[in-house]
Amino acid sequence: MIATDDIPRLYDPALAERVRHAIGQVPGSGGVHGGVGVLAQKLAQIQGSARPQLQKPQLVVFAADHGIVARTASVYQANVATLRVRNLLAGNTVASMFARRNGLALTVVDCGLHADFEPHLQLIRIKMARGTLDSSRGAAMTVGQCRAAMARGTRLVTRLPGNVLLLGETGMGNEAAALLMSRLTGVPIAECTGFGNAGRAREFAVLQGALDLHAGISSPVAALTALGGLEIAALVGAVLQAARQRRVIVVGGFITTAAVAVAARLAPALLECCVFSHGSPANGHARWLQILGAEPLLDAALCTSESCNAVLAWPLLKAAEQLLGAAAQAD
């Protein structure tokens, strides 16, 4: 069994009233209904303090390969995860540049890539397989692999300092995320992927075939095992542990949202720790956030990299922290 009963509800009405009153005393803040004011209230509830402190923020990018991609993507696309990881580690991506300039520690996690990499200070290997199997022909993982990936994601977070975890991913995991969305929410797969033309009929048929093959599976861990990716499983473990430690969890995109949605089925209270950077109208992402009852900070992605969008949320978090600092002085 996966222990989740140690993730309680956080909302404290007395603290909420105190913070609302304090923010209302700051001229020009927009009050508690302004975007930064709403975020400030969330930070206060996560840390249980009217003056939270954001310490040693960690940008953690999870990467893995997916067996189903061989049937839905070109050979070049199938190698995207490896290429992106190499660029991240070389510091050549917008996400890595923004992380450096904003004082965010960057860790790249190999959860199940086909390729191997030379040792690197920012690379952690937790993989137990070189990618998943093709979920349209069988289960993507074994139950043991899924649970092991979750456990390794949990242990990873326990080793990271700080109280802010910015979640990113890199690779070709959108198919797995779309499959999980469809299975967990009942939304048709075409609406989870943004398929808009007949040219993608083959991809749609493969994904629908995966759902049909696993039609009898509905529990979150079983769905993750059958349809998900190793990086999503590791993310589930990471999110659960971050919530236990009352870290601020910044959710950077569609794939990380899939992990949060699975984790929230196990421990709904963890959503109180989550801040969602954006919702993309290009696929089912924005709709999934609505189903989760989540309000993204940004209306749409500002970068093509989901990890980059997580980083772009950081200045807003700092603004909320500063607002609460000013509110404490004015109160």
Q: Which residue has the higher pLDDT, 122 or 199?
A: 122
Angle at 198 between CA 196 and CA 203, to 5 degrees: 85
pLDDT bracket for residue 318 (50, 70, 90): very high
Across the chain, mean pLDDT equals: 90
pLDDT bracket for residue 301 (50, 70, 90): low
- DSSP, collapsed to helix, strand or coil, labels residue 88 as helix
Say if residues 136 and 71 touch (Cβ distance below 8 Å): yes
- DSSP, collapsed to helix, strand or coil, labels residue 165 as strand
Whether residue 101 is predicted with pLDDT greater than 60 in this model: the reply is yes
Q: Measure the CA–CA gap between 236 and 55, rounded to whole angstroms.
A: 23
pTM for this one? 0.94
Q: What's the pLDDT score for residue 29? A: 60
Q: Measure the CA–CA gap between 263 and 274, rounded to whole angstroms.
A: 12
Average pLDDT over residues 68-89: 80
Q: What's the pLDDT score for residue 3? A: 62
Encode pLDDT of 205-254 as tens digits.
999 999 999 998 989 999 999 999 999 999 999 999 999 999 999 998 89
- DSSP, collapsed to helix, strand or coil, labels residue 59 as strand
- Domain extent listing, the chain: 13-51+323-330, 58-316
Q: Measure the CA–CA gap between 130 and 114, rounded to whole angstroms.
A: 5
Active-site residue list:
306
Q: In the numeric block, which tokens belong to residue 166?
A: 């910015």
The DSSP-derived string for 224-267 is HHHH--HHHHHHHHHHHHHHHTT-EEEE-SHHHHHHHHHHHHH-
Whether residue 198 is predicted with pLDDT greater than 60 in this model: the reply is no
Encode pLDDT of 108-150 as tens digits.
999 999 999 999 999 999 998 999 999 999 999 999 999 999 9
- Residue 168 pairs in a beta bridge with 61
Whether residue 280 is predicted with pLDDT greater than 90 in this model: the reply is no
Lowest mean pLDDT among 14-18, 67-71, 253-257: 67-71
CATH 3.40.50.10210 correct for 58-316: yes
Q: Measure the CA–CA gap between 122 and 154, rounded to whole angstroms.
A: 18
Q: What's the pLDDT score for residue 331? A: 63
Q: What's the pLDDT score for residue 34? A: 63
